[in-house]
């Protein structure tokens, strides 16, 4: 079955977990026992049934009425398996949001239609991060339409506001809008009779439509990132994951140094093969040993970008200034940054340029990082797996970056 | 039950197993002789070209089924496994929580300390339980085996070996993405040996295996792997429905896991 990863996005309490719970029930993708268990606990807390409890399983999540950590559940619709990724909306939990959203290629952005909810900081920040992570398809679900009597005017107003936000941040991907009530299951699987004025498709149909598109890497030539030696004693046997193109037996170049080796044998999933292509993890038997392996890049024709210094767009969860000491995790390797220069500060809640020379927590910016060592990379827009990194301050997670 | 692409699942698990082996100095795996941990060993044989390059731990409370012991000894020989048996104590008041929980965890703690393992491969799956679905692929446990689930490390993309701060060990979960039905489809495709208790006898079979005291069989006529796959396609009950400990108390799974249970 085709599997597509879909992340929820949106401010706390706008209905992300509820929507997944609803979809699971409407598509019969969850056991009766799990539903009963969620019902029982809603009752115990003196609440009407919370479909969110199908996902929110920790005691603290149920008692506190919020998602703490990301989780996933699968729903099948028309022969496609949608891996629905729930994430927390609370701003302090944004690292958990990024952990979940990093796997997705489609996002459902929830915006509550309730008068006191609407477009909030996390609504915009999530979009900023989603776009950075390369999500090009967003379905905006205007939720809780039941609480505004399913009125068209409320929906139209929010659609306008969100559209102008997307324009401000130059979002060029595809955006679709659907009015729903996650709680009542309106406009999710079937068209809602309560919103006859809405002419589009229900949510799952929109999702199904988007599931047919799949981004392919722009780079067509071989790029494989080396994971390490398979046996520590035998430095002729390495493991690599192919990110683009195909690896064949014969001469290969290993970057950043450009060392030449011969690939004598290729083994994928336990079998000897003539070639290993995109998304294969391959064991390579080399003609001569390598001194080090992890984080190197294999190519056969064209050369990746070889550099010590990267220019990147970052989203930071810590304060980041020109003197900040950070380490970068790139290609599975860690680099202590020699120098960090902040070139531009961006307000992640509106995507606009900001004055100043440091990045506040939960804001973004453009930076130049001197890694102190040569690496082989690509721009994120060309090949995601070779152009993205996370950064840390000591052992504290600091945020994500993409190479521009 | 949703069937995923086996080749993709296989590839991801192999990647994770190699990641664990290259990141940690002293890796071990838990082997319950059940279908999941046996599938994990088959994947490890693929990842490391025919051999399982780490010890496998059986936490033995002496009351596993006779079939399970035989299965263990046969496969240990056949696959040349480095088997460590961690004897776990049985207290007279055994039931759910204490049987599968604390007793076994104590035995594991002793072994982990004795051998100084820094990583433990555990074959849990997200579809088993809401709490297990909250796990990361690499997940830290502190000295006392505690899981700080309220503040898990970031884990983006396939960078599983992100910074993990622990004085204890790291749990590695290579099968997190698999569904129960995928395990059976893979067992069939790869002809992986399975414990005979999974097949129906007198109208009952075990769907999930614990020890004799805390597992009960479910009604089933599935006598072959194909029967099991067919049964799962139409089933609406939970796999762990036959496990006493899961239903005992509220949040019992969360508590078991927070205390280092597998
Ligand atoms: N009236 C109404 N309430 C809803 C709807 N969807 C969700 N809610 C309620 O809104 C509250 C928050 O829903 P959740 O699904 O927990 O929100 P969330 O976005 O997951 O929140 P976080 O996990 O904290 O980010 C719950 O009490 C839901 O019952 C809806 O369609 N209509
Ligand atoms: Mg939630």
Ligand 1 center to residue B29 CA distance, Å? 40
Distance CA B70, CA B77 (A): 11
pLDDT above 70 covers a percentage of chain A that reads 100
Which residues does chain B have with pLDDT short of 70? 90-102, 161-166, 210-215, 236-253, 255-262
A307 and chain B in contact, CB less than 8 A? no
CB-based contact B34:B240 (threshold 8 Å): no
Q: Say whether B134 and A57 touch across the interface (CB within 8 A).
A: yes
Ligand 2 center to residue A67 CA distance, Å? 4
Q: Say whether A71 and B126 touch across the interface (CB within 8 A).
A: yes
- Token pair of A339, please? 């120098």
Residue A67 Cβ contacting ligand 1 at under 6 Å: yes
Number of H helices, E strands in chain A: 7, 23
Q: Say whether B157 and A239 touch across the interface (CB within 8 A).
A: no
Give the CATH architecture of domain A305-403. Answer: Beta Barrel (2.40)
CB-based contact A179:A188 (threshold 8 Å): no
Phi, psi values for residue B88, rounded to 5°: -110, 145
CB-based contact A380:A305 (threshold 8 Å): no
Ligand 1 center to residue A43 CA distance, Å? 16
Query: What is the fold of A2-211?
Result: Rossmann fold (3.40.50)
Q: Say whether B165 and A395 touch across the interface (CB within 8 A).
A: yes
Q: Say whether B254 and A73 touch across the interface (CB within 8 A).
A: no
- The protein residue with its alpha carbon nearest to ligand 1, atom 7, reads A15
Q: Say whether A269 and B236 touch across the interface (CB within 8 A).
A: no
Q: Residue B163 is nearest to which of A68, A268, A392, comparing CB atoms?
A: A392
- Token pair of B78, please? 């056949």
Q: Residue B154 is nearest to which of A34, A95, A332, comparing CB atoms?
A: A95
CB-based contact A65:A17 (threshold 8 Å): no
Residue A187 Cβ contacting ligand 1 at under 6 Å: no
Report, as an integer, the average pLDDT of A43-66: 95
Q: Say whether A72 and B126 touch across the interface (CB within 8 A).
A: yes
Q: Residue B22 is nearest to which of A31, A102, A228, comparing CB atoms?
A: A228
**Segments of chain A assigned to CATH 2.40.30.10:** 223-299, 305-403
B134 and chain A in contact, CB less than 8 A? yes
Nearest residue of chain B to residue A268 (CA atoms)? B11
Q: Say whether B7 and A281 touch across the interface (CB within 8 A).
A: no
Sheet containing A327-330: order of strands: A333-336, A327-330, A388-393, A396-403, A305-316, A363-377, A339-347, A352-354
pLDDT at B248: 45
Q: For A45-59, A210-224, A381-395, which range has the lowest pLDDT when averaged over its residues?
A: A210-224
By most ligand atoms within 8 Å of CB, the mutation choice from A18, A94, A101, A107 for ligand 1 is A18
- Å from A314 to nearest chain B CA? 14
By most ligand atoms within 8 Å of CB, the mutation choice from A8, A9, A13, A93 for ligand 1 is A13
- Å from B74 to nearest chain A CA? 23
By most ligand atoms within 8 Å of CB, the mutation choice from A14, A15, A142, A143 for ligand 1 is A15
pLDDT 10s digits, A270-283 = 999 999 999 999 99
- Å from A241 to nearest chain B CA? 8
pLDDT at A262: 98
Ligand 1 center to residue A397 CA distance, Å? 28
Distance CA A111, CA A120 (A): 8
Residues in A touching B126 (Cβ below 8 Å)? 71-72
CB-based contact A187:A141 (threshold 8 Å): no
Q: What is the DSSP string of B72-131?
A: HHHHHHHTT--EEEEE----TT--HIIIIIIIHHHHHHHHHHHHT-SEEE----GGG-TT
- The three-state secondary structure class of A179 is strand
Q: Which atom of ligand 1 is nearest to the CA of A12?
A: 25
Distance CA B233, CA B1 (A): 5
**Range A150-159 contact pairs with CB under 8 angstroms and sequence separation of 24 or more:** A150/A179, A150/A181, A150/A186, A150/A192, A150/A194, A150/A195, A152/A195, A152/A197, A152/A198, A154/A113, A155/A113, A155/A179, A155/A198, A158/A111, A158/A113, A158/A118, A158/A119
Burial of B199 (0-12, 13-18, 19+ CB in 10 A): middle
Query: What is the fold of B2-179+248-258?
Result: Rossmann fold (3.40.50)
pLDDT at B144: 86
Q: Where are the domains of chain B?
A: 2-179+248-258, 195-246
pLDDT at B211: 57
Position A57 confidence tier, pLDDT thresholds 50, 70, 90: very high
Ligand 2 center to residue B147 CA distance, Å? 21
- Token pair of A86, please? 């729930």
CB-based contact A375:A295 (threshold 8 Å): yes
Report, as an integer, the average pLDDT of A254-266: 97
CB-based contact A187:A202 (threshold 8 Å): yes
**Segments of chain A assigned to CATH 3.40.50.300:** 2-211
Q: A–B: how many Cβ contacts below 8 A? A: 129
pLDDT at B162: 59
- The three-state secondary structure class of A327 is strand
Report, as an integer, the average pLDDT of A290-301: 95
Report the residue count for chain A: 404
pLDDT at B169: 93
Give the CATH architecture of domain A223-299. Answer: Beta Barrel (2.40)
Residues in B touching A229 (Cβ below 8 Å)? 22
B236 and chain A in contact, CB less than 8 A? yes
- Å from A346 to nearest chain B CA? 22
Residue A13 Cβ contacting ligand 1 at under 6 Å: yes
Ligand 2 center to residue B173 CA distance, Å? 24
A193 and chain B in contact, CB less than 8 A? no
Interface of B with A in 33-52 (CB under 8 A): 45-49
A20 and chain B in contact, CB less than 8 A? no
Residue A66 Cβ contacting ligand 1 at under 6 Å: yes
Q: Which atom of ligand 1 is nearest to the CA of A186?
A: 31
pLDDT 10s digits, A367-386 = 999 999 999 999 999 999 99
Report, as an integer, the average pLDDT of A273-301: 96
């Amino acid at each position: 079955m085709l599997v597509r990863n879909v992340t929820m996005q949106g401010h706390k309490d706008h209905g992300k977990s509820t929507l997944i719970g609803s979809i699971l029930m409407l598509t019969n993708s969850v056991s009766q026992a799990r539903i009963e268990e969620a019902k029982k606990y809603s009752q115990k807390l003196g609440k009407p049934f919370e479909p969110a409890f199908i996902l929110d399983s920790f005691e603290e999540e149920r008692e506190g009425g919020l998602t703490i950590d990301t989780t996933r559940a699968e729903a099948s619709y028309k022969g496609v398996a949608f891996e629905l990724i729930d994430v927390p909306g609370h701003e302090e939990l944004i690292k958990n949001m990024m952990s979940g959203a990093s796997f997705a290629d489609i996002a459902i952005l929830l915006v509550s239609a309730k008068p006191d909810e609407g477009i909030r900081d996390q609504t915009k920040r999530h979009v900023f991060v989603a776009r950075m992570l390369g999500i090009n398809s967003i379905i905006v679900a205007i939720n809780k339409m039941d609480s505004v009597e399913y009125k068209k005017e409320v929906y139209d107003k929010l659609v306008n506001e969100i559209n102008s936000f997307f324009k401000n941040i130059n979002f060029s991907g595809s955006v679709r809008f659907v009015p729903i009530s996650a709680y009542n299951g309106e406009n999710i699987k079937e068209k809602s009779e309560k919103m006859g004025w809405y002419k589009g498709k229900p949510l799952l149909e929109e999702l199904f439509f988007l599931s047919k598109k799949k981004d392919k890497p722009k780079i067509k030539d071989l790029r494989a990132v080396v994971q390490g030696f398979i046996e520590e004693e035998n430095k002729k046997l390495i493991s690599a994951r192919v990110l683009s193109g195909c690896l064949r037996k014969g001469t290969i170049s290993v970057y950043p140094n450009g060392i030449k080796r011969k690939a004598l044998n290729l083994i994928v999933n336990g079998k000897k093969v003539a070639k290993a292509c995109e998304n294969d993890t391959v064991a390579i038997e080399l003609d001569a040993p390598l001194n080090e392996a992890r984080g190197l890049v294999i190519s056969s024709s064209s050369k990746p970008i070889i550099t010590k210094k990267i220019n990147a767009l970052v989203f930071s969860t810590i304060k980041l200034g020109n003197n900040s000491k950070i380490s970068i995790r790139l290609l599975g390797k860690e680099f202590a940054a020699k120098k960090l220069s902040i070139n531009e500060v961006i307000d992640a809640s509106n995507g606009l340029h900001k004055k100043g020379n440091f990045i506040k927590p939960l804001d973004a910016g453009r930076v130049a990082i001197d890694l102190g060592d040569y690496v082989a990379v690509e721009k994120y827009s060309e090949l995601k797996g070779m152009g993205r990194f996370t950064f840390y301050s000591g052992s504290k997670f600091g945020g994500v970056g993409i190479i521009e | 039950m949703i069937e995923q692409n086996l080749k993709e699942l296989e590839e991801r698990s192999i990647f994770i197993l190699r990641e664990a082996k290259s990141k940690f100095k002293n890796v071990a795996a838990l082997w319950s002789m059940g279908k999941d941990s046996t599938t994990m060993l088959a994947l490890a044989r693929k990842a490391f070209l025919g051999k399982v390059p780490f010890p496998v731990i059986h936490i033995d409370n002496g009351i596993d089924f006779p079939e399970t012991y035989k299965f263990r000894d046969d496969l240990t020989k056949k696959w040349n496994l480095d088997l460590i048996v961690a004897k776990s104590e049985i207290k007279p008041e055994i039931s759910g929580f204490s049987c599968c929980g604390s007793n076994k965890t104590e035995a594991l703690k002793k072994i982990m300390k004795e051998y100084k393992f820094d990583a433990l491969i555990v074959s849990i799956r997200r579809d088993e339980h809401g709490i297990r679905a909250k796990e990361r692929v690499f997940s830290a446990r502190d000295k006392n085996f505690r899981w700080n689930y309220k503040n898990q490390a970031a884990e983006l993309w396939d960078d599983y070996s992100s910074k993990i701060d622990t004085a204890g060990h790291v749990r590695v979960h290579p099968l997190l993405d698999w569904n129960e039905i995928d395990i059976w489809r893979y067992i069939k495709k790869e002809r992986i040996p399975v414990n005979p208790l999974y097949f129906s006898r007198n109208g009952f079979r075990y769907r999930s295996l614990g020890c004799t005291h805390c597992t009960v069989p479910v009604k089933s006529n599935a006598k072959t792997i194909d029967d099991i796959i067919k049964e799962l396609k139409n089933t609406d009950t939970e796999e762990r429905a036959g496990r006493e400990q899961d239903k005992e108390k509220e949040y019992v799974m969360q508590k078991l896991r927070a205390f280092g249970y597998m």
